[in-house]
Amino acid sequence: MKLSDFTFDLPKDLIAEYPSENRDESRLMVVHRDTGKIEHKVFKDITGYFDDFCLMALTKNLEQYSTN
């Protein structure tokens, strides 16, 4: 995998400036590695993709990013 694989144009109007009021309704893109199928979901659906051996780590990120 190369870093260039992740280069794409992202229109400024699609960049969220503020989090969703209901954080569990944030958009989630799911890519199935075995088929390449892409699904568009909401974050509260994420547990449907876990099995008994999955681990989800949560962190509080206090960094601010520049949107130049």
62 has pLDDT over 70 = no
Domain count for the chain, please give it: 1
Burial class (CB in 10 A: 0-12, 13-18, 19+), 46: middle
- Give the residue from 25, 32, 35 showing the smallest Cα distance to 49: 32
pLDDT class of 63 with cuts at 50, 70, 90: low
Average pLDDT of 5-16? 84
Task: Report if residue 17 sits inside a domain.
Answer: no
pLDDT, one tens digit per residue, over 21-34 is 888 888 899 999 99
Task: Report if residue 5 sits inside a domain.
Answer: no
pLDDT of residue 65: 57
Query: Structural domain of residue 32, as residue ranges?
Result: 24-52
**Least confident range of 17-26, 35-44, 49-58, 59-68:** 59-68
15/9 Cα distance (integer angstroms) = 11
